[in-house]
Structure 1
């Protein structure tokens, strides 16, 4: 953070803090939020974590989870009042206020000091303080760095360390993605030294499945995964009815898009799913092909070069048709060989 001295001075007195993260939080969003909350509480601040929606069951083990206020489950007055009464709002793991849906306008009009901690590209300029780095692997990594910059690394206990480790582990794909750097391993190592338990965190996130999720995965791989070798592209389309048939819960399709990208020769993988309120798209790519550009240009989304999301208000069939129609535009890039 460029103005770290001013920020440190600002936090020297107790604050009424709200931490907000994006719609359908993943392990990085929730882990960074709960990790930061644990730290700020140790500093004497009154802290509430607010999420726009529910999130996967496999991250509900995180310390502090039981106190999270979920906007979709509350009458709008409660989160609105919490935000109105806050003097400080931390915005974690999203770069634009529209990523927190209806909460975005509450945050925008609030007179509270706003703090952005994020690693997504092209952030909206709304914050008074920013801990932003588009090259960072995760928001949890940036939370760790901020605590360190504030001189408070010694306050990171096992609960905080496990939350932050979970965020780093998942946003690097279990330390497999190209964003896994020496610095990432350094920070992960420090978190382990401070009490994080890699085996426990990995078990909770990667090896805690419902039978319905496993059956959905088998159906997707055997029936729904399509390959377009002429575009080095794989895609999966899931209807609302199919998701209902497998009793799909939030987070059950997490990681499915990566299976397409694991196919030899594939450079782009997309998961398109009907979430009833809208059509959601998850994009993954290899090398220099930017799914961030594709998501921003055509699907009201964005994120990172090799991992982005999008959405449409079109029908599922129209969304698929639109996706297939734009592939010729990217054919040269998709077929280009890289060193």
Structure 2
């Protein structure tokens, strides 16, 4: 495993660098990736962010977004950049399977792999790891990596600050989750001092919905919400037909599961959606309930204790029924 001194020495000279993150990137994935990108280009590195798939439109304003390459839209160029890279930064994911087909290319690349992440049980594919499951966001770790490990606080300029603030804000649910510690607030304060405008960022991320997205949300809450009070669980289920009816695009389903969790007394919420190739689940929980245990054990997924995801190749109806049949196993934890 590479040590920080060796990595710092490498980064002292311009390198060909690829930064990538998990498929269907969220605010933390793109915020941390573009935050690191904006730091590296100040030092003269030849850096590129390659996203495995597209991502929500409400992240397209982030500084550096215009230089992002989407792998599925430009496979030849992406493959060449990965093959030529000296260093590949892997942000906000802990296994190559999380970047889909890109995982094969990254695994085969001779480049040094640097993982910066906060998810449980990282796979052993990296050469250097900056990892902390107690961090509220990967963007928090990128800030600490730049400031404390590489000793470059002066390079946290406005562009870096805006991106990292976005990552921390989104992954902490606007600074409301338990891992939003005093350290997180101190980092956020430093980012504001560096030029991040919290009000502007919040408006761009959360208050820029399309009409169809708002109508889709209304349908989810009025027609697709099911509350199982005997298990303190709420479920929102969305079919392919629902997605087509409301012209749902990437990002439109983000955060909807949290509305189910906001119901008084609910300890577990599930958002189950039928995609073209599989059924996907997003789980959120309160307190000590292990949402990640359900995803890992039954739905080929995982994540954090209170925020996890999974998938299944079974039919939509089978997945919904399977989820409900699992609940009695966790009843004691759900009703305590």
Q: Same fold per TM (> 0.5)?
A: yes
The SS at the match of 2:247 is coil
Equivalent pair of 2:239/2:274 in contact (CA under 8 Å)? yes
Equivalent pair of 2:2/2:127 in contact (CA under 8 Å)? no
Matches within 5 A, 1:98-137: 98-137=97-136
The SS at the match of 2:271 is strand
How many aligned residue pairs are there? 335
Residues 292-329 of structure 1, C-alpha deviation per residue, up to 9 Å, x if partnerless?
11111111111111001111111111111111111111
The residue number in structure 1 matching 2:239 is 239
The Cα shift of 1:177 comes to 1.3
The residue number in structure 2 matching 1:90 is 89
The residue number in structure 2 matching 1:145 is 144
The residue number in structure 1 matching 2:311 is 311
The SS at the match of 1:84 is helix
Residues 58-103 of structure 1, C-alpha deviation per residue, up to 9 Å, x if partnerless?
01000111111101212x3221111111111000001111000000
The residue number in structure 1 matching 2:184 is 184
Query: For 1:255 and 1:72, how far apart are their aligned partners in 2?
Result: 24
The residue number in structure 1 matching 2:297 is 297
Query: For 1:10 and 1:130, how far apart are their aligned partners in 2?
Result: 15
Query: For 1:324 and 1:225, how far apart are their aligned partners in 2?
Result: 14
The residue number in structure 2 matching 1:257 is 257
The SS at the match of 2:214 is helix
The two structures, once aligned, show a CA RMSD in angstroms of: 1.1
The Cα shift of 1:4 comes to 2.2
Query: For 2:110 and 2:278, how far apart are their aligned partners in 1?
Result: 31
Residues 188-208 of structure 1, C-alpha deviation per residue, up to 9 Å, x if partnerless?
011001111101100000111
The Cα shift of 1:125 comes to 1.2
Query: For 1:2 and 1:72, how far apart are their aligned partners in 2?
Result: 31
Query: For 2:317 and 2:169, how far apart are their aligned partners in 1?
Result: 35
The residue number in structure 1 matching 2:322 is 322
Structure 1 runs not aligned, ≥5 long: none
Give yes or no for the alignment of 1:73 onto 2:73.
Answer: yes
Query: For 1:162 and 1:126, how far apart are their aligned partners in 2?
Result: 30
The residue number in structure 2 matching 1:227 is 227
The Cα shift of 1:2 comes to 9.1
The residue number in structure 2 matching 1:213 is 213
Structure 2 runs not aligned, ≥5 long: none
Residues 137-185 of structure 1, C-alpha deviation per residue, up to 9 Å, x if partnerless?
0000000000002111111111110000000001110011112111110
The residue number in structure 2 matching 1:24 is 24
Query: For 1:73 and 1:158, how far apart are their aligned partners in 2?
Result: 29
